[in-house]
Structure 1
Amino acid sequence: MKPFPKFARQALALMIASVPLFPVAQAATAAEWPTKPVRIIVAAPPGGTADILARIFAHELQSPLGQPLIVDNKAGAAGTIGVHGLLSAPRDGYTFLLVQKGIVSEVPQVMKVTYDPFKDLVPLAQLTRQGLILVGKPGLPARNLGELVTYIKANPGKVDYANFGAGMRGHTMGVQFNRLAGVTAGAVSYKGSPPALQDVMGGHVPLMFDGPATSLPFIRSKQLKAFAIAYPKRIPALPDVPTFAELGFPDLKEVSWMALWSAPGVPPAVLARMREATLKVMQSPEVQKKIEDLGMEIGSAATSEELARDARESSERQGKLLRSINFTPD
């Protein structure tokens, strides 16, 4: 057998020597991350709950990461524009998404989406938790939930409830309330919480299930009545508002949460560092106070797998409920 020519031996030696360089380079990149600003896509418009939370979060996270965090609002299509912004970005750990779990548990049930909610989105860390509040117009002749149920029963077909989107949690919570309380309040759907709240305060629709961050200012100013909160416990921002469980409706306690999400394929070491820094800043007393003032609670330290499982279970419950009312998605 003829020996390899000298140039071939040199090329082969160079190839062999270069093999270990790839994992070493990747590991070094993950260890040095971040070396430039990190983008947080918010799947909501400026001024909303998610946007406020993102700016609190971005400000606090700059110190432990040593880089600025840029809040990039990509609102529209029930949050799916933000999802596509995440999925179209490089998987290098410099783009994350901040949005509610409804992006996987609710949105795909009410509209056609081009992403797989449980394969294309990875919940990295839970930021906040909240429950919906049943609020009503100031002129309602009911001082508490018991009187409200009596009033609805005495006025069949005349009491409706607004919601921030057909098929979404604010809609299906009303369906559950109807069944459990034995009432027949009708659903009136809006494109978002602000226009729905305006109609409730204006007296056009008497009731609504809404998130605390958007309804809290109006409850405090007496422009809305708060009857009960669908959450496992009372919240510090509204200590006098009872839970539905306290009032005899233990099944009305769906917990919604806001999370930081990643696309699959981002280096695990980068995700681990981002998650660690996120959980740390969310536990600071200053951040906790700001979150409580918004009517929410700091999220748990649940793992990515636990969050994904909770979202899937929520999706199954939501889907079952929508099928029971023959809901047809857009």
Structure 2
Amino acid sequence: MHIAMRRFAGCLTIGLAGFGLGSTAQAADAYPTRPITFVVGYAAGGATDIVARLVAKSVSDSLGQPVVVENRPGANANIGAEVVSRAKPDGYTLYVGSIANTINRTLYEKLNYDFKKDFTPVVLLTTIPNVLVVNPELPVKSVQEYIAYAKSHPGKLTCASSGSGSSIHLSCELFKMDTGTDILHVPYRGSGPAVADLLGGQVNSMFDNLPSSLPHIQAGKLRALGVTSPERAPFLPDAPTLAESGLEGFSVQSWFGLMAPVGTPPAIVEKLNAAINKSLSGDELKTSYEKAGFVMPPQPNTPAALGKFIDSEIEKWGKVVTAAGLKVQ
């Protein structure tokens, strides 16, 4: 009797497990059956928000469901990341991660989420070069002249940023480490006010995201000395890379990637990856990216490739944050 009952219980357990696997597979096959949300950790209007809305609009058609963008700003994107890290891993709540999250992992003494352990990479959305720009009144016209000026005026040259711990700030810190220069960092609450003071001459220089400085460069109101990406920016072909300018190996790119809560079924991750890569290859999104100053991600643009890239970014910025002695409580 007991043996028969145990056999029955074992069969029932196996049956239920099989049913669960079947249900998961069916859910992945049917996905999506309702609207999807992209959570952005910044206010509307910034680069993260812009790229999220461009991709959301483009991919809605191929997925057959609306994709909406929800802004959850605060704590250098940590609030939005924490919200999604606790979301149900069903593919309906996704996070638009960025370089800031890989910096934050070392910068903040305490976080209520782990960007590496609590998320599954889905797809890289875009990269943005940073550009070293100076006020035209500063008597330098190249990266080497900028370095020479900084060394002859230690602590006098100023470098603005959108905030402590931003990619703009860390670009400056990495530059200082690589060149042995003493440049004063001046943090602002956002790129807008930083650029405004740079235009007004209150600060001398900035490693700004290219899209926000490009109009001022084109108008002759800012002077571009070089870009931080490995290759020249197609939107600013005359500006050399910092590597070309004598800083071998110098490479900083702001980037934005779609992340899912850990535990999201692989079939759903693959479906999202395929749909977004299809949108990225379309003429409509390519045109939108060119107008906004966004660079198409390299191929193959797989979840594994994004995961490997994130690992390298965490290691890289961990060293910079530690060496610069930066910490946020």
Q: TM-score, normalised by structure 2?
A: 0.90
Q: Which amino acid aligns with 1:296?
A: F
Question: How many angstroms does 1:16 deviate by?
Answer: 7.9
Cα separation, 1, equivalents of 2:29 and 2:177? 54
Which residue of 280, 292, 295 maps to 2:293? 295
Which residue of 100, 105, 108 maps to 1:108? 105
Per-residue deviation, residues 172-196 of structure 1 (Å, max 9, x unmatched): 3223323444432111122322222
Contact 1:216–1:294 under 8 Å retained in 2 = no
Aligned residue number for residue 207 of structure 1: 205
Following superposition of structure 1 onto structure 2, how do residues 183-198 of structure 1 map, counting pairs within 5 Å? Answer: 183-198=181-196
Question: How many angstroms does 1:71 deviate by?
Answer: 0.9
Question: How many angstroms does 1:232 deviate by?
Answer: 0.9
Question: How many angstroms does 1:292 deviate by?
Answer: 2.6
Per-residue deviation, residues 95-130 of structure 1 (Å, max 9, x unmatched): 111121331x20122222111121002221001122
Cα separation, 2, equivalents of 1:157 and 1:222? 27
Following superposition of structure 1 onto structure 2, how do residues 1-330 of structure 1 map, counting pairs within 5 Å? Answer: 19=16, 20-103=18-101, 105-111=102-108, 112-300=110-298, 301-330=300-329
Question: How many angstroms does 1:81 deviate by?
Answer: 1.2
Question: How many angstroms does 1:257 deviate by?
Answer: 1.7
Contact 1:110–1:168 under 8 Å retained in 2 = no
Per-residue deviation, residues 273-320 of structure 1 (Å, max 9, x unmatched): 111101111111321232233223111234323322322222222222
Change in CA separation of 1:21 and 1:167 when aligned onto 2, cut-off 3 Å: closer
Moved more, 80-89 or 162-171: 162-171
Instruction: Give the structure with higher Rg (CA).
Output: 1
Contact 1:65–1:277 under 8 Å retained in 2 = yes
Q: Which amino acid aligns with 1:305?
A: A
Cα separation, 2, equivalents of 1:107 and 1:85? 16
> Runs ≥4 in structure 1, deviation > 4 angstroms?
14-18
Change in CA separation of 1:154 and 1:32 when aligned onto 2, cut-off 3 Å: same
CA RMSD of aligned residues (A): 2.5
Q: Secondary structure at the match of 2:38?
A: strand
Q: Secondary structure at the match of 1:131?
A: strand
Per-residue deviation, residues 158-210 of structure 1 (Å, max 9, x unmatched): 21101223244322322332344443211112232222222211211111111
Cα separation, 1, equivalents of 2:83 and 2:177? 39
Contact 2:158–2:205 under 8 Å retained in 1 = yes
Q: Which amino acid aligns with 2:193?
A: P
Percent identity for Structure 1 against Structure 2: 31
Contact 2:120–2:263 under 8 Å retained in 1 = no
Contact 2:60–2:66 under 8 Å retained in 1 = yes
Change in CA separation of 1:86 and 1:328 when aligned onto 2, cut-off 3 Å: closer
Contact 1:129–1:298 under 8 Å retained in 2 = yes
Moved more, 306-315 or 208-217: 306-315
Which sections of structure 2, spanning at least 5 residues, go unmatched? none
- The alignment of Structure 1 onto Structure 2 pairs a total of residues equal to 324
Which sections of structure 1, spanning at least 5 residues, go unmatched? none
Contact 1:41–1:95 under 8 Å retained in 2 = yes
Q: Which amino acid aligns with 1:311?
A: I
Contact 2:38–2:96 under 8 Å retained in 1 = yes
Q: Which amino acid aligns with 1:106?
A: I
Q: Which amino acid aligns with 1:107?
A: N
Q: TM-score, normalised by structure 1?
A: 0.89
Cα separation, 1, equivalents of 2:253 and 2:188? 22
